[in-house]
Amino acid sequence: MALPASSSGLFRFVSPRSRPQSTDIVAAASWGVFAGTAGLYLVQTKKGKRLVEQGSRRIRKITSDIYSKAHGWKPVDRRLQ
């Protein structure tokens, strides 16, 4: 007679009543994936937001300089308005 699948592997030395069920393992893995994803999201959004703000400021300055040079105007600093 074949042994149940739960008796093989890492859990064969644990009593049958104490062995984790497959749903417990799936739930733990899911929570781990969720925690890792949430951590990466938080790190990326803090860093990403700062980079986007810096990039948009640079783009505005570059386009303002190019436009003003093309038309012979003095660049306008919009922060002073």
The per-residue DSSP string of 22-77 comes to: HHHHHHHHHHHHHHHHHHHHHHHHHHHHHHHHHHHHHHHHHHHHHHHHHHTPPPP-
pLDDT digits (tens, 9 = 90+) for 8-29: 577 777 777 777 888 988 999 9
Amino acid 79: pLDDT: 62
The reported pTM is 0.43
Distance from C-alpha of 75 to C-alpha of 70, rounded to nearest angstrom: 11
pLDDT in tens, 25-66: 899 999 999 988 888 887 777 666 666 666 677 777 777 777
Domain boundaries defined on the chain = 49-74
68 contacts 76 by C-beta, under 8 angstroms: yes
